[in-house]
């Protein structure tokens, strides 16, 4: 399944004011990097993958439309999958994109 181009455009609009933004096709989707660090990825399986602090993972999993990101059968702590129903409004999407971007900006640029 190809990633959602419309969702990618919505994310692109939200990150357009950030410095050091790059897009890269990976994981069957389109990743948005900030200073070379992944922040969010429009998933080829639908929805959004969001990078979050590992310590925040459990509390964020309690939110609606959020589940662990699983790759190769293993849960990837520090990453969440947000379903399309949790990204319908600009406010919903902005909250997740901002979370991923802010966390990516906390790392040194690559």
- What pLDDT is attached to residue 1? 64
- What pLDDT is attached to residue 27? 80
- What pLDDT is attached to residue 104? 98
Taking 70 as the pLDDT cut, the residues of the chain under it are 1
- Strand 48-51 relative to strand 74-82: parallel, antiparallel, unpaired? antiparallel
- What pLDDT is attached to residue 71? 83
What DSSP string runs through 9-71? HHHHHHHTTSTTEEEEEETTEEEEEETTEEEEEE-TTSSEEEE--GGGHHHHHTSTTEEEEEE
- What pLDDT is attached to residue 87? 98
pTM, two decimal places: 0.94
């Amino acid at each position: 399944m190809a990633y959602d181009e419309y969702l990618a455009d919505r994310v692109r609009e939200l990150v357009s004011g950030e410095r050091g933004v790059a897009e890269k096709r990976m994981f069957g989707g389109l990743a948005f990097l900030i200073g070379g660090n992944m922040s969010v990825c429009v998933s080829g399986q639908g929805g959004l993958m969001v990078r979050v602090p590992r310590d925040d993972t459990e509390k964020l999993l309690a939110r609606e439309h959020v589940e662990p990101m699983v790759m190769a059968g293993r849960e990837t702590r520090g990453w969440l999958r947000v379903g399309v129903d949790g990204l319908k409004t600009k406010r919903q999407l902005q909250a997740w994109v901002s979370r991923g971007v802010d966390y990516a900006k906390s790392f040194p640029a690559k």
